[in-house]
Structure 1
Amino acid sequence: MRLLPYASLLLATACVPLGTPITSTNPATTSAQKAPEYYADKTLRYQDYTYSPDVRSVQCYVATGQPNEVFQPPVVPLGRSQAITLEFDVLGDQSQRYTAKLLHCDANWQQSVLTDLQFLNEINEFLITDYRVGINTRVPYFHYRMRAPGVKLSGNYLLVVQSAGGVPVVSRRLVVYENQVQVLLKPGIVVGGAERYTLQQLDFGIAYPSVNLVNPAAEVKVVLRQNFRWDNAKYNLRPTFVRDNERRLDYQYFGFENAFPGLSEYRYFDTRSVQAPGIGVLRVDPQTTPVTAILQPEATRAKQAYNQYQDANGQRVFESREYGRGDTNADYADVTFQLKAEQPAPGPVYVFGALTDWQLKDDFKLTYDEAKQLYTGRALLKQGYYNYSFAVGGARGSVPNEVYFEGTHQETENQYDLLVYYRPPGTRADLLIGYQTVTMNNRQ
């Protein structure tokens, strides 16, 4: 799901939990609501996570100098890790001192036993000195930016931003790869009945003509992702054929192990202007502090035919139509989501996407009004262009159910990538020895 050429000039976003307060010394922007209790738990999580209700609009991407660089996931070849950029806002009218560190992780995203000097050439503490105040915004904030340090090994890394005392503020997963093997990833054809209209299958193999892999059937680990998400990634996929003579691993499944729901193109709205409603916005009130924006009431798409348009695969960008740059010129708006439903869903309903770190956050949980047959929820979001979906929560640890409200179609445009890990004998690090991306139903 890619952006139209003109859309690349429009976009901008931010992530803000529904119902969280704006903590600031400015009484006009202070909410009486209590911050969600989970923010009280500062335990470091080896995932994309935000630990403070004051931290908003986190973006982690590869700086390419192109207009849509914020859509590039933090995945780089070895030698280019310093191109990964982390940006975030901190609400309030006082700047804070933040430092960052890098943690090396194994293929399962647990911290490895490597010492800092084994993967870094410098002291593992980086003071964030690039920060600027929001300009003429009703909601005061400071915008922080940093580049990831250079690393010596491929694999998984967790970039952690800390406040005074080593308390985590933001964590983001980074991936550094090298092309030791050839990754053969391509769109496949679903072998099934109705599933061929709703699922998207990825066929893949791994060729290793110039590298010796010891016991590759057991030691090579692969991860298959949709739209660079970790929440619904496919793990523990084992090769079905090991062709030693050809030095190749084949992964051929018949139980949809390598298939994902195609879903639908993501919903979207545009709050780049505070003077007039943008696309997807019902009305905007620029006189309030913060500015309020009520989105158009949405409806289920579960039984609708596929509707083709170009989107940003659940991502967002930040921008102000009136003042330009989104990093310091975009203000925050109190955004109300609306979803029409004749009856409650079989579980709690959430706004879902990059704006929620691809997690079902209580801050983004919607409330159902039986009399109005309407789900509603509010979030403080930075001006921009947003993609999102509605998801239904299930059992703890289960993949969010986007199909219930969004439907699923084989025709949907999605991006997929495959990560190939291997730990050489006698070493203590899972190296990322291969990486490949492919677009399903590419519109270009």
Structure 2
Amino acid sequence: MRFLPLASFLLATACVPLGTPITDPNAGRAGTQKPPEYYADKTLKYQDYAYSPDVRSVQCYVATGQPNEVLQPPIVPLGQSGAITLEFDVLGEQSQRFTAKLIHCDVDWQPSILTDMQFLNEINEFLITDYRVGTGTKTPYFHYRLRAPQVKISGNYLLVVQNQGGAPVVSRRLLVYENQVSVGLKPGIVIGGKERFTMQQLDFSVGYGAVELVNPAVEVKVVLRQNFRWDNAKYNLRPTFVRDADRRLEYQYFNFENAFPGLSEYRFFDTRSVQSVGIGVLHVNPQARPVTTAELLPETSRALTAYNQYVDANGQRVFESREYGNGATNADYFDVTFQLKSDQPAPGPVYAFGAFSDWQLKDEYKLTYDEAKQLYSGHALLKQGYYNYDFAVGGTRGANETYFEGSHYETENQYDLLVYYRPPGTRADLLIGYQMVDMNSRQ
């Protein structure tokens, strides 16, 4: 798998004096408001989720020892699950005792009926002993780190962190695959009218010549994702052709079942410095209490603009402090103000959206509309770093990113295909094939 080098998109900082500074730095600030009601629900959710407003800056990645390792999604070949690393902060001045466990899931992310010893060689309870206190920060927090255990079979896993009372604190999806089948995934050409300028199509096939699959046309299940996201993944894709002689499944569609909106390159901002204004930032107030405030430059809709090429991080973020280094424990928390100019209200609630929101429309990142100023704005408590994001409109079909961001076939995105199969007489969906491909790669 290839990923963008970290240095390629973390080079520039700039000071652009536009917009209106915040006059009351503490009015309605993040961290001073009542937490959203959904945090009261401690029911385990089989998805990437944080169960407390004190849990922040969750990252789950494959530790490679390289500078850009935090951009590696938690996907590994069988035998390398121990490289998957989970990190998160818990706000507060007192450390807590946390344990973690793995839950094996089926293709639909529901718990399987396997016992722990069928996918683990050890007791399924792991005490988190690697934790450190945030140093020299206004916002007190402890930073926790955990390596996932080795597993014996491929498939979907949910890594769950629990407190002493057994309530979930953080959950993250992990993928462990094996190459039993050959996966052919490549960029395709959208067949259609105006969609060929806005959509990106992925053509793919699954070759099973090296393995005996019973009824592969029905039993093989595939999931197609854009930028490793689950919220807009394509499920229930059935093969359109079964080449028995070639032992290959082909997936060829004509109604955009295998196409995604290309969107635009992600917006970005840099809050790694307290002493200078980073790119995308209008104003930083290090004297603000209780936390430093950062007001982002007012953004505008890109729905009707031409494509603008630049290197982004596909919605991800990296934590860092320019003054002190080591973003894990030296980066402070900023109260960040998002701003979006709009002549009229959108047809639904508007959110700041990206990996920092777990690709979910969360109340913490919901913006309010000021009709007099024709401006959406909202606050969020975010750790110092470099962030990608966009603006999404909420609706019955989930996040609508095209309303403010537009969509272009030229946009650089990453796609991956997951191939699952449950052998007859077994009780587990195995992840028997995996491939990732770049669309419009800049390499």
Q: How many angstroms apart in 1 are the aligned matches of 2:339 and 2:356?
A: 16
Query: Contact between 1:198 and 1:409, CA under 8 Å: does it hold in 2?
Result: yes
Q: How many angstroms apart in 2 are the aligned matches of 1:143 and 1:211?
A: 44
Which structure 2 residues correspond to residues 181-260 of structure 1 after superposition, within 5 A? 181-260=181-260
Shift of 1:35: 1.1
Quote the residue 1:352 is aligned against: 353
Determine helix, strand or coil for the equivalent of 1:400. strand
Q: How many angstroms apart in 1 are the aligned matches of 2:112 and 2:11?
A: 41
Shift of 1:6: 4.1
Determine helix, strand or coil for the equivalent of 2:400. coil
Quote the residue 2:292 is aligned against: 291
Query: Deviations for 1:1-43, whole angstroms, at most 9, x for unmatched residues?
Result: 94574435789xxxxxxx7854xxxxxxxx2x21110000000
Query: Contact between 2:391 and 2:404, CA under 8 Å: does it hold in 1?
Result: yes
Q: How many angstroms apart in 2 are the aligned matches of 1:336 and 1:2?
A: 28
Query: Contact between 1:8 and 1:68, CA under 8 Å: does it hold in 2?
Result: no
Query: Contact between 2:8 and 2:311, CA under 8 Å: does it hold in 1?
Result: no
Q: How many angstroms apart in 2 are the aligned matches of 1:2 and 1:410?
A: 19
Query: Contact between 1:128 and 1:146, CA under 8 Å: does it hold in 2?
Result: yes
Which structure 2 residues correspond to residues 44-443 of structure 1 after superposition, within 5 A? 44-289=44-289, 290-395=291-396, 398-443=397-442
Q: How many angstroms apart in 1 are the aligned matches of 2:11 and 2:283?
A: 22
Q: Which runs of 4+ in 1 moved over 6 A?
A: none
Q: How many angstroms apart in 2 are the aligned matches of 1:149 and 1:340?
A: 47
Q: How many angstroms apart in 1 are the aligned matches of 2:441 and 2:256?
A: 22
Query: Deviations for 1:374-422, whole angstroms, at most 9, x for unmatched residues?
Result: 0000001000000000000001xx2310000000000000000000000
Query: Deviations for 1:30-70, whole angstroms, at most 9, x for unmatched residues?
Result: x2x21110000000000000000000000000001111110
Q: How many angstroms apart in 1 are the aligned matches of 2:209 and 2:260?
A: 30
Shift of 1:367: 0.2
Q: How many angstroms apart in 2 are the aligned matches of 1:9 and 1:262?
A: 25
**Partner letter of residue 356 of structure 2?**
L
Query: Contact between 1:85 and 1:146, CA under 8 Å: does it hold in 2?
Result: yes
Cα distance change, pair 333–76 in 1 and its aligned pair in 2 (3 A): same
Name stretches of at least 5 consecutive residues in structure 2 with no aligned partner.
Answer: 14-27
Q: How many angstroms apart in 2 are the aligned matches of 1:240 and 1:347?
A: 37
Determine helix, strand or coil for the equivalent of 1:320. coil
Q: How many angstroms apart in 1 are the aligned matches of 2:294 and 2:328?
A: 20
Query: Contact between 2:9 and 2:313, CA under 8 Å: does it hold in 1?
Result: no
Determine helix, strand or coil for the equivalent of 1:366. strand
**Partner letter of residue 440 of structure 1?**
M
Aligned residue-pair number: 426
Query: Contact between 1:73 and 1:228, CA under 8 Å: does it hold in 2?
Result: yes
Q: How many angstroms apart in 1 are the aligned matches of 2:166 and 2:440?
A: 45
Q: How many angstroms apart in 2 are the aligned matches of 1:48 and 1:442?
A: 27
Query: Deviations for 1:60-112, whole angstroms, at most 9, x for unmatched residues?
Result: 00001111110000000000000000000000000000000000000000000
**Partner letter of residue 370 of structure 1?**
E
TM-score (normalizing by structure 2): 0.95
Determine helix, strand or coil for the equivalent of 1:305. coil
Query: Contact between 2:6 and 2:68, CA under 8 Å: does it hold in 1?
Result: no
Q: How many angstroms apart in 2 are the aligned matches of 1:112 and 1:152?
A: 15
Cα distance change, pair 10–435 in 1 and its aligned pair in 2 (3 A): farther
Shift of 1:276: 1.2
Query: Deviations for 1:319-369, whole angstroms, at most 9, x for unmatched residues?
Result: 000000100000001100000000000000000000000000011110000
Q: How many angstroms apart in 1 are the aligned matches of 2:384 and 2:184?
A: 40
Shift of 1:288: 1.3
Alignment identity in percent? Answer: 78
Shift of 1:165: 1.2
Q: How many angstroms apart in 2 are the aligned matches of 1:71 and 1:106?
A: 25
Query: Deviations for 1:163-189, whole angstroms, at most 9, x for unmatched residues?
Result: 011100000000000000000000000
Query: Contact between 1:21 and 1:53, CA under 8 Å: does it hold in 2?
Result: no
Determine helix, strand or coil for the equivalent of 1:438. strand
Query: Contact between 1:10 and 1:319, CA under 8 Å: does it hold in 2?
Result: no
Determine helix, strand or coil for the equivalent of 1:333. strand
Query: Contact between 1:262 and 1:414, CA under 8 Å: does it hold in 2?
Result: yes
Query: Contact between 1:263 and 1:402, CA under 8 Å: does it hold in 2?
Result: yes
Query: Contact between 1:3 and 1:312, CA under 8 Å: does it hold in 2?
Result: no
Query: Contact between 1:281 and 1:294, CA under 8 Å: does it hold in 2?
Result: yes
Query: Contact between 1:201 and 1:259, CA under 8 Å: does it hold in 2?
Result: yes
Q: How many angstroms apart in 2 are the aligned matches of 1:99 and 1:21?
A: 28
